[in-house]
Amino acid sequence: MSFGVGLTGLKGAQTDLDVTGHNIANAGTVGFKQSRVEFGDLYAANVSSSGASGQGVNINQISQQFNQGEITFTENNLDLAINGEGFFVVQNTLGEQFYTRSGMFGLDREGYIVTNTGERVQGFGVPDELQLQPQPNPARPLGDIQVDDADMAPNRTTDVETEFNLDSRQEYVTGGLPATSDGTGVSVPQVGATNGYSATTTASTVQIVNAAFTPNQVISDVSWTANDSANAIATAISNVEGATASATTTVQIDAGILAATGVVLNGNLLASTATGANTGSAIAAEISSLSNFSASFDAATNTLTVVNDLGFDVQLDSTAGAFNVSGIANGVNQGTVAAGAGTTVTTGGYVDITLDAGLYLVNNDSATAPNDVVFGATPTDDSSVIRPFSPTDSESYNHTTSVTIYDSLGNPHIMTQYFVKEPPTLTASNENTWTMYALIDGYHIGDQNPAYDSTQPESLTNSMNLPLSQQIVFDTSGEIQSTNPSTPLLVDDWQPRDADGNPNGSDGPASGVEPTVPPTSSNFVIDITGSTQHASQFAINGLAQDGFSTGTLVGLDVGTDGQVVGRYTNGETRTFAYIAMANFTNEQGLVPIGDTMWRGSAAAGEAVINLPGTAALGQIQSAALENSNVDLSDELVGLIIAQRNYQANAKTIETENTISQTILNI
C-alpha cells in the first residue's frame, strides 16, 4: 500500500518541480503569469471510519497567479503595459480570439497593430469623419486596428477665435494726412510761373484745435499767402506745437520730352536734352542729380516721373518741342497741361500732416466755407482728420497680432488683426470704442472695391477689396458691450493668393454665405467673444483656428484610455482607434496556449470587452512593458522544498521495499 502512497508523492513532487522550473524559465518573459500546484490529500472512496489511513496526495489543479507584474519603460510607443485588471484582445488569421498581457506590439507591412507572433490587436475603430475629434465608443464593432500612413489631407480655416485684452490706458492714434487731392487746384499744372494756390482768408482759416475742451480749444490758426508752395504750407503747419507736416510734388511727363531741346527744370538747363534725340534714362539720371529731386523713366510707357521731395513747385519749359505735364497727388492724376517751346508750366505739391493725440485739423470751427485749396471739401466744419489706418504705418494703430490660417489646398496665409483706439469726435466723447481691422497676406479682405483700377498694379491705395473692420464698444467694466458688424465677423470676400498676388487655385469666397459643413468656399468667421478692455498690457489670452496644411505621419502614441493617435508633421493628430481590453469572471478558467496568451473557456465565463479604464479594467501605459510576476527568490526556495519532498517520497518507497524484502526472507 505504501508503494502507491509514495508514488503519488513522487508524482506530486515532480509536478511541483516542473511548475517551479517553468516559472523560473519564464522569469524574463513579458506578460508571463506564474503558476502554482495546488495539492489535496487522497482517501479511498469507501472509507467510513474517521481513523482511516490516507492513500497519498492528489494534484487538484495548477492555478495561475494573475497578480500585477512590475512595469518597466522602453523607447517604443507601441510597447504597452496594463496597469490593473484585464487583457489585450488579439485575433489570429483564422479568426480565433485570444487574450494576453504581453504588450510587445508593432506594425506589420499593411499597417495593422500586431503581436510579436503576428496576431492582430483588436479595438474599436473611429470613422474617418470623426478621427480629428474622436469620442470613444465601445458600441462600435470590435476589429483589427489599422494605421493609415497616407498623408493627412489639408483642412481649410472656417473659424478663428481670438480672445484679447486691449489696454484702456492707450492714447488715441495721432491724426494726419488730409485728403489733399480733393482740393481745387491741388497739383493741377498751371500755365505760368505760379501754382495757382489760393491764400487762406479770415473767413476760412485752417485751425488746429483740441477737442478735449467745450467749445473746442483753438491751438493755432494756420494761414499762407497765394501761390505759396506746398513746402511753405507744410512749414506753416509744422510751426504749430503738436503738428508735423511734409510736402511732396510729383509730375509725370509724356514721350514728347524725348524730342524736346533745351528743357529747363526749375531754372536748370538739362544737358541731356541738348540734341532733341534724348533718352529717358539719361534725363532721369540728370534730374536725380539735382538737389531735392528724384526721377525715373518707364520705357514701357515712355513716361518720365519727376518728384520734388520737399514739395517745392516744379516748373518746366523748353526752347523747342512741346510735351505734356501731369500733376500727381496721392497717386491720382489731377490734370494735364502742354508745356515747352516757350510755355512755362508750374505744378504745386500736396501736404501730409501728423497731429498729436487729441488734436484735430478743421477748416475754421465756426465757418461753413472750407478752404478749397490743399484741404478741399474734407474736412468740413466740426469733422476731424484722424490719422487713417494703414498696416504699413505703425503709428496708425495701437496693437496688432497675427495667426496663420489655411485655404482649401492647405496653403498657409497670415491673417493680421490691428486694433485702433478711436478718439472722441468733436461733438461727442466715447473713451471705450476701438476698431479692429483684418488683412490677409497684406491685402484688404472687405467688400469689393468699386474704385479698384484693374489696369494698375494692386496696392493698398488701389486695392481690389475695401478694408475689413469691426467696431468694438466696451462698457465701463471693460466687457464687450456691442460690435458692428456683430460677432462673429463673417469674412466672405477673401480670395486666397499666391506669392505673386494671383489667385492660387483654391476655393474662393461666396458672398454673404456662412461657412458650411463640409466647407465649399474660403469664407470663415472671426470670433472675439470674451475679449476685454482693462488697464493692463495688451495680451492675447486665447488664439485658435481650425485649419491646417497637409501632414505626413511621423509617430504613434497610445493614451491611458487606449486611444491610438497618429502625430503628423503639420502639428495635428488623428485618432485611428481605441484598443480594447477584456475581463473575465474567473481568470483561473483561462486556458494557456503558449506565447503568453490564453484562450477563453466556459470555466472563465464570457469575455467582457470594454475600453481601458472602464468597468474595473486597468489603464494602459505606453512605451512600457509588464514584466513576469515570477519572484525568483520564492521560486528557488520552492525548488528546494520540491526537491526535499521528492527525496522524502522516494525514501517512503525505499522503506516499503525494505520491509517487503524482510517479509519475503522469512
Tell me the pLDDT tens digit for each residue of 2-56: 676 767 777 877 888 888 888 899 999 999 999 898 887 777 666 555 656 667 7
3-state secondary structure of 81: strand
pLDDT at 538: 96
Phi-psi region of 56 (alpha: psi -120 to 50; beta: other; left: phi over 0): left
Cis-peptide into 391, omega within 30 deg = no
Question: Which architecture characterizes domain 159-168+391-545 according to CATH?
Answer: Sandwich (2.60)
Of 561, 575, 610, 612, the C-alpha closest to 126 is 575
pLDDT at 398: 93
The DSSP annotation for 451-468 comes to T--TTS---SSS-SBPPE
Rounded to an integer, what distance in angstroms lies between the CA atom of residue 264 and that of residue 220? 39
pLDDT at 367: 41
Question: Which three cell numbers mark 47?
Answer: 472509507
Pairing of strands 591-594, 159-167: unpaired
**Residue corresponding to grid cell 495667426:** 403
Q: Length of the chain, please?
A: 666
User: Lowest-confidence range among 115-129, 286-300, 315-329, 334-348?
Assistant: 115-129
Rounded to an integer, what distance in angstroms lies between the CA atom of residue 620 and that of residue 610? 13
Comparison of pLDDT for 68 and 48, the residue scoring more: 68
Count of CB atoms within 10 A of residue 499's CB?
Answer: 8
- The answer to whether the beta carbons of residues 179 and 376 sit under 8 Å apart is yes
pLDDT at 644: 82
Question: Which three cell numbers mark 593?
Answer: 496556449
What residues are paired with 24 via a beta bridge?
Answer: none
Tell me the pLDDT tens digit for each residue of 332-360: 898 999 999 999 999 999 887 766 656 66
Question: Which three cell numbers mark 468?
Answer: 475689413
pLDDT at 189: 93
What confidence category does residue 198 fall into, taking pLDDT thresholds of 50, 70 and 90? confident
Tell whether the torsion through CA atoms of 45, 50, 56 and 61 is positive or negative. positive
State the maximum Cα–Cα separation within the chain, in Å, rounded to a whole number: 165
At residue 121, does pLDDT exceed 70?
yes
CA atoms within a 13 Å half-sphere pointing along the CA-CB vector of 537: 3
Of 575, 552, 520, 543, the C-alpha closest to 156 is 520
Count of CB atoms within 10 A of residue 569's CB?
Answer: 13
HEC per residue, 10-25: HHHHHHHHHHHHHHHH
Q: At what angle do helices 2-25 and 632-664 cross, to 10 degrees?
A: 160
| DSSP 8-class letter at 66 | -
Count of CB atoms within 10 A of residue 105's CB?
Answer: 23
212-219: long-range contacts at Cβ-Cβ below 8 A with a sequence spacing of 24 or more? 212/358, 215/365, 216/360, 216/362, 216/365, 216/426, 218/365, 219/359
Phi-psi region of 441 (alpha: psi -120 to 50; beta: other; left: phi over 0): left
- The answer to whether the beta carbons of residues 79 and 104 sit under 8 Å apart is yes
Average the pLDDT over 44-73 and give the result: 78
3-state secondary structure of 131: coil
At residue 221, does pLDDT exceed 80?
no
pLDDT at 217: 67
At residue 374, does pLDDT exceed 80?
no
At residue 69, does pLDDT exceed 90?
yes
Sequence spans of domains, the chain: 2-67+629-664, 73-153+552-626, 159-168+391-545, 175-363
Contacts of 307 (CB under 8 A, 6+ apart): 248, 249, 250, 293, 294, 295
At residue 182, does pLDDT exceed 80?
no
The DSSP annotation for 499-510 comes to TTSSB-SS----
Comparison of pLDDT for 246 and 473, the residue scoring more: 473
Count of CB atoms within 10 A of residue 452's CB?
Answer: 13
At residue 365, does pLDDT exceed 50?
no
Comparison of pLDDT for 177 and 167, the residue scoring more: 167
Tell me the pLDDT tens digit for each residue of 473-497: 999 999 999 998 988 999 999 999 9
What confidence category does residue 657 fall into, taking pLDDT thresholds of 50, 70 and 90? low
Rounded to an integer, what distance in angstroms lies between the CA atom of residue 14 and that of residue 439? 84
Rounded to an integer, what distance in angstroms lies between the CA atom of residue 547 and that of residue 530? 22
Average the pLDDT over 434-443 and give the result: 95
Distance from chain centroid for Cα 69: 43
- The answer to whether the beta carbons of residues 219 and 210 sit under 8 Å apart is yes
For residues 412-440, b (16+ Cβ closer than 10 Å) or e, as one string? Answer: ebebebbbbbbbeebeeeeebbbbbbbbb
- The answer to whether the beta carbons of residues 294 and 307 sit under 8 Å apart is yes
Of 102, 20, 62, the C-alpha closest to 589 is 62
Task: Supply the mean pLDDT for the chain.
Answer: 84
Of 70, 145, 68, 157, the C-alpha closest to 113 is 145
At residue 136, does pLDDT exceed 60?
no
pLDDT at 565: 94
At residue 225, does pLDDT exceed 70?
yes
pLDDT at 37: 85
Comparison of pLDDT for 128 and 88, the residue scoring more: 88
Average the pLDDT over 438-457 and give the result: 88
Q: What backbone torsions phi and psi does residue 283 show, to the nearest 5 degrees?
A: -60, -45
User: Lowest-confidence range among 66-75, 306-315, 345-354?
Assistant: 345-354
The DSSP annotation for 337-389 comes to EEEETTB-EEE--EEEEEE-TTEEEEE-TT-S---TTTTTTSS-TT---PPPP
Comparison of pLDDT for 425 and 463, the residue scoring more: 463
What confidence category does residue 645 fall into, taking pLDDT thresholds of 50, 70 and 90? confident
Quick one: 511 exposed, middle or buried, by C-beta within 10 A (0-12, 13-18, 19+)? exposed
At residue 560, does pLDDT exceed 60?
yes
CA atoms within a 13 Å half-sphere pointing along the CA-CB vector of 177: 12
Question: Which three cell numbers mark 45?
Answer: 472512496
pLDDT at 426: 43
Let me know the angle formed at the C-alpha of 95 by 63 and 104, rounded to the nearest 5 degrees.
60
What confidence category does residue 422 fall into, taking pLDDT thresholds of 50, 70 and 90? confident
Average the pLDDT over 246-263 and give the result: 93
pLDDT at 32: 94
At residue 239, does pLDDT exceed 50?
yes
At residue 370, does pLDDT exceed 70?
no
Rounded to an integer, what distance in angstroms lies between the CA atom of residue 568 and that of residue 550? 9
Average the pLDDT over 541-567 and give the result: 94
Pairing of strands 532-534, 159-167: parallel
Distance from chain centroid for Cα 24: 55
